[in-house]
Chains A and B, each alone.
Chain A
Amino acid sequence: MYLWENMPFILIIGSLVGAFIMAMFARWKRDWCPYLTIISVGFSFILSCILVYRVAGGEIIHYYAGGWRPPWGIEMMIDELGAMMLLLLSGSFLLISIYCIYAIPREIPPSVSGWYYTCFLLTLSSMMGMVATNDFFNLFVMVEVTGIGACALVAAKGEKLSTEAALRYLILSSTGAAFLLFAIAFAYQITGNLNMTYVAAEMAKVKDQFPVIIWVMISFFTIGLGLKAALFPLHIWLPDAHSSAPSPSSAILSGLVVKVYIVSIMRVYFLVFGFDVFTGTYMRYLILVMASAAILFGSFFAFVQVNLKRRLAYSTVAQIGYIFLGFGLGTAWGIMAAMLHIIIHAFMKVCLFLSAGAIYYQTGRKKVTEFTGLGYQMPVTMVAFTIASLSMIGIPLFGGFITKYGIALGSLEANNPYFIALIVLSGLLNASYYLPLVWQAYFVSGPKKFKLEMDAIPFSMLLPIMITAAGVIYMGIFPNGPLSFLGKAVARFLL
């Protein structure tokens, strides 16, 4: 009963406590850290499953920290989107922590491997806090902790490039957090509340009274969270940070970290400001322009990269554009496509980055020109890579198609069919930088004939790759479950 009532809190504190325990084991028993991390994340995963089950039963979970009711105390609210994000975060972290057992000793120095798991769990904890919280200041604290944890995940490699990328990431992300804090100050100034629900209710009353402050506030929220979510002109930190990090960190950063900021910004736009203010301040049109630019330029930049992980990182910039485009359209299908793409892209990017890590683990290859024969040397990994690539392009039966279809429907609903042309063009661009890799892996013959053999990587690294690839196919063939689950969240967003 105690567990049942305090579940959101235990979920977040659980991994935070896990992080501190891991800091202890980092000095004492370094070899136990990965397994303890799996236990801790597995615990979060089970709790998230129960939360999703409860939310699917029609209940929106409110938790009041210390029993203080909303206008005064900190409130956690888990709605459909939040529950889905919690499940996605803990599930992906569970897969990545299984992958870490063998990948981490290869990629980062042994002296910091225990600390790596501390940051790992810290990031998980604060990200879950960010999607669960309904309080603005709590959101800011969680944003900062996520920023520090994510930077530490990049810097863990201890090389020149990753240290420099981590510093740039840290400076830009704390700049973004400062903008966010200022925006929260404005929200407190004109509404006198920090709880998002109450801020929204007050904002509806006073929005005509303070047009300039509303305008500044929504811009600051966009800069602050957009900088952290790598919306196109603010994406400059992303490629370096994501490509120089160890592969498990890249998967976390690309697949999950940027998404929680997008969830926050969606809540700010639709639940706090409301659709009228979002459109009335022209912020929606700005988002549409920046998202379109992100899709085009992200794909162009990805096309010219030689390093595999850099190519995947620029592809993330483009895919972030899809999510922003989806909710920027502001129609039911658009927002639904954005939410679905958060999930599908997490599956695809985690799969691709873990495959890139597996390729590096077995063959030491990092470049996109070195894929020759990989389809024979690493058949399972390359099949997963191919599935994720086809999903990126948007072939039917794969997850990415569902998003593209949703955005196309959304742009028809919004009477703006130009975006369908953008989607088609972007599908072609994605094909131009993913298909050559697949083609090279299977059909380009090397100096000698390749023999089909099994991947020479541990099964615990292969398993997460296979599961995420299966998830991509599952989302492509049976999207009805998540669609009907998220439908209520979309309806509340457009209220």
Chain B
Amino acid sequence: MKIDFSILLLNYPYFVSVIIFCLGCLCILTQHNLLKKVIGINIMQSGIFLFYIALGNIKGGIAPIFDPAMPEAAIYINPLTSTLILTGIVVGFSVTAFALALIVKLHQFYGTIHAPHIIRMRSLG
């Protein structure tokens, strides 16, 4: 199978967003610090948001506000993906807030936010 690299170069925002998504996923899986795991979730979500925005954008497009002064053939970008991402950001914010509250509570219980330490302390009783 031959890969056409010019397609990758033309669509670099998608490529970058997938890389960011994978970095976030890696961060969740490999980091032991609970705060860093939460940051990983945020990185992952940022990658997806970028993907959505890139999806709606058109090169040379303008904001989709109707203006009689504009020529007929003006290219408008797709506003739907941006509005979806507004909702996505709010959802991500609430998840982050809740996770941070739980981490604060865990720190009160165990005195650490390092996941292996917490697991060891729990197994000791």
Chain A interface residue count, Cβ-Cβ cutoff 8 angstroms: 28
- Residue of A140, A158, A174 near B95 (CB, 8 A) is A174
Give the interface segment out of A42-50, A175-183, A342-350, A439-447.
Answer: A175-183
Contacting pair B41 A155 (CB below 8 A): no
Contact indicator B95/A148 (Cβ below 8 Å) = yes
Instruction: Provide the bound-state CA to CA distance between A240 and B96, in Å.
Output: 21
Residue on A nearest B110 in the bound complex, by CB: A160
Indicate if the CB atoms of B95 and A144 lie closer than 8 Å: yes
A416 in the interface (beta carbon within 8 A):
no
Is A301 interfacial (CB 8 A cutoff)? no
Residue of A whose beta carbon sits closest to that of B83:
A137
Which of A166, A167, A177 has the largest count of B CB atoms less than 10 A from its CB?
A: A167
Bound complex: CA of A181 vs CA of B45, how far in Å?
A: 9
Majority-rule SS of A interface residues:
helix
Mask of A139-167 contacts with B, CB within 8 angstroms, 1/0: 01100110110011001001011011011
Question: In the assembled complex, which residues on chain A have CB atoms less than 8 Å from the CB atom of B106?
Answer: 163-164, 167
Give the docked Cα–Cα distance between A151 and B105 (Å): 14
A148 pairs with B45, CB closer than 8 A:
no
Residues of B near A164 (CB, < 8 A) are 106, 118, 122
- Can you name 18 A-B residue pairings with CB atoms under 8 Å? A137-B84, A144-B95, A148-B94, A148-B98, A158-B105, A160-B109, A160-B110, A163-B102, A164-B106, A167-B106, A170-B95, A170-B98, A170-B99, A175-B41, A175-B44, A177-B95, A181-B45, A182-B21
Please give 11 more A-B residue pairs, beta carbons under 8 A apart, in addition to A144-B94, A155-B102, A167-B99. A141-B87, A147-B95, A148-B98, A167-B34, A171-B37, A171-B41, A175-B25, A175-B41, A181-B48, A185-B52, A185-B55
Shortest Cβ-Cβ A-B pairs, 7 listed: A167-B102, A144-B91, A174-B95, A160-B109, A178-B44, A163-B105, A181-B48
Residues of B within 8 A of A (CB): 21, 24-25, 28, 34, 37-38, 41, 44-45, 48, 51-52, 55, 81, 84, 87-88, 91-92, 94-95, 98-99, 102-103, 105-106, 109-110, 118, 122
